[in-house]
Chain A
């Protein structure tokens, strides 16, 4: 039953599974239509169609606060229309995967699921570095 619902699990344990799970929540499409009901969000999509942008840039362009823009981008992201990745201190937004060719779209989703994991991983590495520093001091 579960195997059937999820398709061939032999495809591996990593990004693939995240993708499958996200798809099977089945709410993406509703979320997409809801996301498109807002003029600012449609504007953001249009903007990202021309070039990737950071949240700060988008907030500037649409004369909004950072918090306000974060919310809009969050709605678009949930709908799969926009993807974001934090690189260093900057969160860059780009158009989502729906307009790509199937293979490119698959690879992009796979990349995003790893990128989401690695965002968490970065935090963990910082924690562990701090901890090691603290332990090192204790030993001396």
Chain B
């Protein structure tokens, strides 16, 4: 009856958006209720990064977080997860560090070229708009990343689950 109002809750003010801007690019946006210097600190000080980069809900633990955040500096993040036999390391180099406004880093842990991540910080009236831009070396690289990430969600198991879901009310799938 009054379901419609539910979808009107807080349009986008502090919501996270993601778009595939082109074949090679993903863009994430989010606004934070704080000035750019604070938001920038939270992205660049290892002891602060550790507090949000691997949220508890994922079951991941941050084992170590080293980041020499200056142009040409390197980072190395090591995580563990109950499903992994060994910890995983992610590392790369900061291509550009402009305090309070821009960060660019490489993602070097894979065998092939990884994406280049650019994060911009834009302060507006005490709030900060953060834009995370990931540029893959080619459209194929991004397609591959997406395909490999979809495998476990696209199999017949999910068709079965869909059927099961459709059964009780039969209206769940309708708009």
Contacts and interface: CB of A to CB of B under 8 A. Distances in A.
B77 A97 contact: no
14 contacts: A9-B110, A9-B114, A20-B149, A21-B59, A33-B161, A33-B164, A49-B174, A85-B16, A103-B20, A106-B146, A113-B58, A120-B52, A125-B33, A132-B38
Given A103-B146, A117-B53, A118-B16, 8 more contacts: A10-B109, A20-B149, A21-B81, A25-B82, A42-B165, A51-B7, A124-B52, A125-B34
Contacts of A97: 153
A7 B160 CA distance: 26
B114 to A, nearest CB: 4
A21 B18 contact: no
B88 interface: yes
Interface of B: 3-4, 6-7, 9-10, 13-20, 26, 28, 30, 32-34, 38-39, 41-42, 48, 51-60, 77, 79, 81-86, 88, 90, 92, 107, 109-115, 117, 132, 134, 141, 144-154, 157-158, 161-162, 164-165, 168-169, 171-175
Contacts of A3: 111
Chain B interface, DSSP helix/strand/loop, else mixed:
mixed
B42 A8 contact: no
Interface in A14-62: 14-26, 28-29, 32-33, 36, 39, 42-43, 45-47, 49-54, 57
Nearest to B18: A111
Contacts of A53: 3, 6
A54 B132 CA distance: 27
